[in-house]
Structure 1
Amino acid sequence: MGRNERVRRRLTRIPPQGAVVAVLAIAGLASSFMYTLVVPIQAKLPELLHASREDTAWVVTITLLAAAVITPISGRLGDMYGKRRIVLVLVAALVAGSVIAALSHGIVGLVVGRALQGAVTGVVPLGISILRDVLHHDRVDGAIALISATLGVGGALGMPLSALVTQYSDWHDLFWLAAGLGVVVFLLVLWIVPVSVLRTAGRFDIAGAVGLTVGLSGILLALSRGNEWGWTSPAVLACGLGGLAVLLVWGRYELRTAEPLLDLRVAVRRPVLLTNVASIAMGFALFTSNVAYPQILELPPPAGFGLTLLIASLIVAPAGLMMMLISPYSGRLARTVGPRRLLAFGAIALILAYGYSLVFSHEVWQLLIANILVGVGIGFGYAAMPMLIMRSVPQSETGASNGLNALCRSLGTSTAAAVIGAVLATMSTTQGELQVPTAAAFQLAYVLGGAAAVAALVPALLIPQRPAAERHPSLPA
């Protein structure tokens, strides 16, 4: 065998499927880690950057905006130009953003860096779509459950790591850590993940991408800044109502164009629509726990338990561990009972978690149990949603459709951040020199989280039991 033939075979070898799943899971962990990366320094940012608290809020807001806008767009680009290629672009954006943030000492550079970091969220729905393309059908459900779990696991496990780095090192090292992680992920994807061969022909819908960006930015900006600007302020009303108007026009345009960014006719099919509605509610239920539990753990007694950020993060982390542990069983359970029931099981676990918190939230170990229940609920729910989506859309649109589903989860988390944040800020009392949420505020947060879980359960039960009858015409019987 000649040297050229050996090189050709080496370059065209098919990597082990387990290695592909592992690399995409690592990429998912890295992307979700970006959400909690700055949590340990968030309260100190005005002092560190010599900027107002309103300006430093953009360090968090811009990441949410970038993630929500880029995720569905990158999904469509992946369908057209290759999912692996777009994953590499997004991971490269993470590395570039991390380096910019690490070298920055002012608000502008940090906001730019965080925007680029937010773009990497798109690797999770793209990774799920890659699994459908390259894995044997018997392994797809379990692998999807694992990749979906990383959306919660990375944030839950990343928070203690961020707290540890901040406690013993300079805050810039957080971003050098993110950059190093991005480089490792980039090299692993380049080495292990096969080149995408399934492509969608046509042109990219630039007008549709611009319309979606403007509309989503307006709505998410209103949600994320409503507490500070005032929910009835002209700025919030202009952003929210203006964004909604733009999305209505955008939807009409997408229905009329020959090659839309998102095929809304597929998106409104009953299984897809109900799954996305449940995704919004599930995202709200998840982020309610991310806001409420850490605060009550860190607040000084009698309002809270007075734990350090590091210890509080370790109490919250088992939720992420539970998502990872149950992900293999989620795939098997989905094959046995179907992803529809799996989504319902997840919603029920979340209802139990918040119902338990309403009665038992007086000891740290009780909140630990509640977090474990949240992990079970999100683990089942997040595993089921992409399975339901991919059973109802053509293979040429899995990237865009999974991106839209991820966007719905982002809308839920952004709404929860605004609503639960407003509840805890409004229902507060003076404790020493601090304004702290009252016990009633946390009780209301648990009620809202439980209500969101109920709102996820209802559409889950309405999804057709025989999804094949609702499949897209291009799918095989």
Structure 2
Amino acid sequence: MPDNARGARTARPDHHGLVFVLASAGIVMSLCQSLVIPILGRLPDILGTSPSNAAWVVTVTLLSGAVTGPVMGRLGDIYPKKYVLIGCTALMVVGSVVCALATSLWPMLIGRALQGMGIGVIPIGIATMRENLPPARLAPSISLMSSSLGVGGALGLPAAAALAEFGAWQWMFWGSALLGVVIVTMMVAILRPTPAAKPDGSLDVPGALGLATALIAMLLAVSKGADWGWTSGLTLGLGALSVVVFAGWGAWVLRARSPLVDLRVAARPPVLVTNIATVLIGVGMYAQLLIVPQVLQLPVGTGYGLGQSMIAMGLWIAPGGLAMMAVSPLSGRLITKRGPKPTLVLGALVIAAGYGSALLLMGSTWGLMISAIIMNGGVGLAYGAMPSLILDSVPRTEMGSANSFNSLMRSIGTSVSAAVIGVVLAQMSVESHGLLIPSETGLRVALALGGGVALLSGIVARFIPPPWAEE
């Protein structure tokens, strides 16, 4: 055995420890994305700003994760992944501290953007598993890591709600900072640096800036179009800017020696169709996170609201996150026995079935909890399959960036979902006690849209070609 191969083998960490620390990191990072949802209504008073500006406290985290994910993925291909993972987590810790100390909008936005950068831990962690785990453990571990995206959000809601209701809101951010420090400590102790997949590569700075500009313009137009007006000059201008910059970016990366994203790899039919299905899965997954909490918290006097408190809402949603984690071993076994493609199709169909059950059961808290469990179970199946499909279809030197690009597609799906569902609920609203709230018809239409998109993602996934990989 060559010396360098022997050194790489001895540097590999304990398998159990590696999976534990990476899955824990994924849960903490995804928790940060939903951390402020319980205090959204209080943010305008806390930060001294308008409700529309306060909404950016959520949007900027998703936007930051989408924009920086491919950069972090490429850094994970160029440098030892251990150090990139630690760096992502450290940025989240710094962002949490900034948020905890913030008293106005801009410091909070900066802190939330730094928190969003930590989401790069998930695609880089999946690529790390691919490099270090034996085949028998790979699929279940990737499923667990992927499900951490939903588990952290679902479990974080009741915890953040309890802290916000019974303590100071700053405790949420101090808590996430403390968890981040614990994760960094475990990474330092457990992970071992492995040789870079592409040690002769360099970060494509022009490509990173171009992609960031195009994504920011596109996601701003999609997420804020309803507020600014879909035909306003700002919305249309950002959309046009996004198209132009994306075209220039594509021309650049096709000529670059070490591109941020290898479009030739991304254009392979298995990767391309998987990413299309991923966008649709993102829409289907995020829609329920926007609808179910509102139904639970709307006043009983509306005739369709369930009148739950902030904490009770979080507790009714939490079993969905636990279901996602419980399903991850099943997803891994299905991927091993049947392959990732059938598992992805099954996951999409289960999500669609969950939306269908919500249409029938939205009149009770128990019914919505059961529907959320079904939907999140489907998400757990689908999230485990998507990275497996990508990793089976790309060379080792592109694993980090290809997986990050797949995560970007999911982020685009969630952003589109937020915009579309927001428009539906805003347009189909009623006045209650001087406030505009979603109507029952609007909520049912939104649920039907979520289920329809989930069903469409299953149809698209059915046509994913057989994967192949180049070494």
TM-score normalised by structure 2 residue count: 0.95
In the alignment, structure 2 segments of 5+ residues that lack a partner are 1-6
The one-letter code sitting in structure 2 at the alignment partner of 1:170 is: A
Partner secondary structure for residue 436 of structure 2: strand
CA distance in 2, matches of 1:57, 1:364: 27
User: In 2, are the aligned partners of 1:91 and 1:182 still within 8 Å (CA)?
Assistant: yes
- The residue that corresponds to 1:392 in the other structure is 393
- The residue that corresponds to 1:174 in the other structure is 172
Kindly provide the CA deviation profile for residues 271-296 of structure 1, in whole angstroms up to 9, marking residues without a partner as x. Answer: 11111111100010011000000001
- The residue that corresponds to 1:219 in the other structure is 218
- The residue that corresponds to 1:382 in the other structure is 383
User: In 1, are the aligned partners of 2:76 and 2:196 still within 8 Å (CA)?
Assistant: no
User: In 2, are the aligned partners of 1:303 and 1:436 still within 8 Å (CA)?
Assistant: no
Partner secondary structure for residue 231 of structure 2: coil
- The residue that corresponds to 2:228 in the other structure is 229
Kindly provide the CA deviation profile for residues 290-322 of structure 1, in whole angstroms up to 9, marking residues without a partner as x. Answer: 000000110002241110111111111111111
The one-letter code sitting in structure 2 at the alignment partner of 1:78 is: G
- The residue that corresponds to 1:96 in the other structure is 94
- The residue that corresponds to 1:258 in the other structure is 257
Kindly provide the CA deviation profile for residues 103-131 of structure 1, in whole angstroms up to 9, marking residues without a partner as x. Answer: 11111111110010000011000000000
- The residue that corresponds to 1:165 in the other structure is 163
User: In 2, are the aligned partners of 1:133 and 1:198 still within 8 Å (CA)?
Assistant: no
The one-letter code sitting in structure 1 at the alignment partner of 2:103 is: H
- The residue that corresponds to 2:4 in the other structure is none
In the alignment, structure 1 segments of 5+ residues that lack a partner are 1-8
Tell me by how many angstroms 1:14 deviates: 4.6
Map 1:362-441; keep pairs closer than 5 Å: 362-441=363-442
Tell me by how many angstroms 1:404 deviates: 0.3
The one-letter code sitting in structure 1 at the alignment partner of 2:450 is: G
Kindly provide the CA deviation profile for residues 380-421 of structure 1, in whole angstroms up to 9, marking residues without a partner as x. Answer: 000000000000000111100000000000001111111111
- The residue that corresponds to 2:309 in the other structure is 308
- Percent identity, aligned pairs only, is 42
Is 2:253 aligned against 1:283? no
Query: RMSD across aligned C-alpha pairs, in angstroms?
Result: 1.3
Aligned partner of 1:128 among 108, 118, 126: 126
Kindly provide the CA deviation profile for residues 230-265 of structure 1, in whole angstroms up to 9, marking residues without a partner as x. Answer: 222111111122112211211122112222111111
The one-letter code sitting in structure 2 at the alignment partner of 1:29 is: I
The one-letter code sitting in structure 2 at the alignment partner of 1:331 is: G
Q: Please identify, of 285-294 and 99-108, the stretch whose mean Cα deviation from structure 2 is larger.
A: 99-108
Partner secondary structure for residue 431 of structure 2: strand
Kindly provide the CA deviation profile for residues 29-79 of structure 1, in whole angstroms up to 9, marking residues without a partner as x. Answer: 011001110011111111111112222222112111110001111000110
Q: When the two structures are aligned, how many residues end up with a matched partner? A: 460
User: In 1, are the aligned partners of 2:12 and 2:194 still within 8 Å (CA)?
Assistant: no
The one-letter code sitting in structure 1 at the alignment partner of 2:100 is: A
- The residue that corresponds to 1:351 in the other structure is 352
Map 1:35-184; keep pairs closer than 5 Å: 35-184=33-182
CA distance in 2, matches of 1:413, 1:137: 31
Q: Please identify, of 146-155 and 225-234, the stretch whose mean Cα deviation from structure 2 is larger.
A: 225-234
User: In 2, are the aligned partners of 1:300 and 1:306 still within 8 Å (CA)?
Assistant: yes
Tell me by how many angstroms 1:194 deviates: 1.5
CA distance in 2, matches of 1:358, 1:40: 24
User: In 1, are the aligned partners of 2:197 and 2:396 still within 8 Å (CA)?
Assistant: no
The one-letter code sitting in structure 2 at the alignment partner of 1:335 is: T
CA distance in 2, matches of 1:338, 1:111: 41
- The residue that corresponds to 2:248 in the other structure is 249
CA distance in 1, matches of 2:455, 2:12: 44
CA distance in 1, matches of 2:191, 2:305: 46
- The residue that corresponds to 1:444 in the other structure is 445
Aligned partner of 2:20 among 2, 19, 22: 22
CA distance in 1, matches of 2:264, 2:70: 16
Map 1:450-461; keep pairs closer than 5 Å: 450-461=451-462
TM-score normalised by structure 1 residue count: 0.94
Partner secondary structure for residue 203 of structure 1: coil
Q: Please identify, of 25-34 and 328-337, the stretch whose mean Cα deviation from structure 2 is larger.
A: 328-337
CA distance in 1, matches of 2:315, 2:191: 33
The one-letter code sitting in structure 1 at the alignment partner of 2:317 is: V
Kindly provide the CA deviation profile for residues 205-232 of structure 1, in whole angstroms up to 9, marking residues without a partner as x. Answer: 1110010000000011111212221222
Is 2:270 aligned against 1:267? no
CA distance in 2, matches of 1:214, 1:112: 17
The one-letter code sitting in structure 1 at the alignment partner of 2:110 is: V
User: In 2, are the aligned partners of 1:318 and 1:375 still within 8 Å (CA)?
Assistant: no
Partner secondary structure for residue 198 of structure 1: coil
Structure 1 runs of 4+ with >4 Å offset: none
Partner secondary structure for residue 153 of structure 2: helix
